[in-house]
Structure 1
Amino acid sequence: MAWLVLIVSGAFEAVWATALGRSAGFTKLSPSIVFALGIVVSMAGLAYAMRELPTGTAYAVWVGIGASLTVAYAMITGDESASVVKVLLILGIVACVVGLKVLH
């Protein structure tokens, strides 16, 4: 159960990171609210998962999922340029996250 919660909380990291970027320094209400809710859910899930998983592993997986999804979303929406090298590097992060799960 801890792994599932960790994966979901990693996805919420991408939600709050994206919302933070769209909040324009917390001057836009809707993205600011999404940021606040997203960070609470994300951190709560990370805290829950860390009750059963080692801190380093849980944090690395959480950041890896969040960072990968944030960049992927930005590339899909056109907010960030996409390239083969970027996609390969993101896939490398995902591979490392999977590796941490396999080794745990």
Structure 2
Amino acid sequence: MFLVRCTFWLAVGFMVIKPFVLDPNTAVAIANSTLQSGKNIAIEQALQLDCNDATCTTIKTVAAVSALTSNQLSVPTLNNKIEEGGPTPPLRPDWAN
């Protein structure tokens, strides 16, 4: 919990001091590295469990499988660009002047 609080306040302080430094690519790279390091720590802890229970075996199996899969974030793209020649409102009639 201490690390979570430290991370939160560090992020808040960073955003207050320099709020517009991060571009989307840098933010995604930081998020990916943070997620990967957290995932590695969780997998190491799960694999170090010392028990023969079915629950522990399941946890170790899930940790081993998740070590092989990759969940990377991607940069959001803008697919809703305005095309030329799009719909326009009709012209104002002469009698409405």
TM over 0.5: no
So what's the TM-score if we normalise by structure 2?
A: 0.37
TM-score, with structure 1 as normaliser: 0.35
More helix by share: 1
Higher relative contact order (CA 8 A, sep 6+): 1
Larger radius of gyration, structure 1 or 2? 2
